[in-house]
Amino acid sequence: MLKCVIIDDEPLAREILAGYITQHEALTLAGSFSNALEGKAFLQHQVADLLLLDIEIPEISGIDFLRSLSQPPITVFTTAFRDYAFEGYELGVIDYLLKPISYERFARAVDKVTEFLSLERHNADLELQQEIPAFIFVKSGVQKIKLSFADVSYIQGLKDYAIIHTTSGKIVTKGSVKSMQALFPETLFMRVHKSFIVAKDKIRRVERNSILIADQQIPVGRNYKAALDKLIDGY
């Protein structure tokens, strides 16, 4: 059971989310709070697996609250505002739910959380080995798995881990996006966001602030847009 904490200043929103948590077999409600200060006091002494966090809350915004946590739980933003999605990516938020939130959409967000935690458990001891031409080795227990650069679509940073998305599945490894950037050759890969590295040849479409790889929309950070524009103009 995943222990959930709700922080939302709207009583009805808290009630709805609490009902969804009760309805979901994988979740249990650990705490529900109307403001960030009460939520932070709780998280300083209790362990939570999932934080359902509103953005527009009294005293301190959800974004600033999340930045203030040294070890935040996996977080899903729950908000009535569409304008904070990219801030969520910056903070490693796993999903972004717009109010009013249906149970079906809530359940899909929980699926993302449980999938990540499952990958994290099964691949916690993965270590990327020294880069060699065209591929690297990923160590899992006593096995060494060959990972071809050509099979990698993109790499996503989340908390202290990196999720490597490949054509055949996902690999979770401990390490920052910056450490992944050093392992994947810049001739084939480029960083487009604080939390994302993409394979250049897997880019399907470039939009104003995002790119499309397979069916996944990847945000483009302001600090990386010029390099992406230069790459596209060079083709």
pLDDT, one tens digit per residue, over 123-160 is 654 444 444 458 877 654 455 667 899 999 999 998 88
Give dist(CA 131, CA 183) in Å, integer.
6
State whether 52 and 97 are in the same domain: yes
In-domain check, residue 166: yes
Amino acid identity, residue 131? E
Q: Give 31-54 as a DSSP string.
A: EEESSHHHHHHHHTTS--SEEEE-
Domain that holds residue 147: 134-234
The domain that holds 146 is classified in CATH as 2.40.50.1020
In a shared domain, residues 16 and 100: yes
pTM score = 0.57
CA 113 to chain centre: 9
pLDDT of residue 131: 40
Q: Determine the average pLDDT of the residues in 48-54.
A: 95
One domain for residues 96 and 156: no
- The whole-number pLDDT of residue 124 equals 53
Cβ(2)–Cβ(113) below 8 Å: yes
CA distance 22 to 211: 37
- Can you give the pLDDT at residue 81? 78
Query: Which residues are CB-contacts of 5 (< 8 A; sequence separation ≥ 6)?
Result: 30, 31, 32, 33, 39, 42, 43, 48, 50, 51, 52, 73
Are 61 and 115 part of one and the same domain? yes
Q: How far is CA 175 from the centre of its chain?
A: 14
- Better-scored residue on pLDDT, 104 or 121: 104
User: Between 59 and 53, whose confidence is greater?
Assistant: 53
**Amino acid 80: pLDDT:** 84
**Residue 110 shares a structural domain with residue 146:** no
Percent of the chain at pLDDT above 70?
A: 88
Within-domain flag for 129: no
Same-domain status, 62 and 27:
yes
Q: Which of 121, 143, 160 is the last residue of a domain?
A: 121
Q: Are residues 106 and 182 in the same domain?
A: no
Mean pLDDT to the nearest integer, 53-67: 89
- 12 vs 58, residue with greater confidence: 12
Confidence of residue 118 (pLDDT cuts 50, 70, 90): confident
Q: Which pLDDT does position 234 carry in this prediction? A: 66
Q: Say what percent of the chain tops pLDDT 90.
A: 51
Shared domain for 52 and 73, answered yes or no, is yes
Which two tokens mark 152?
């990698």
Asked if residue 39 is part of any domain, the answer here is: yes
Structural domains in the chain (count): 2
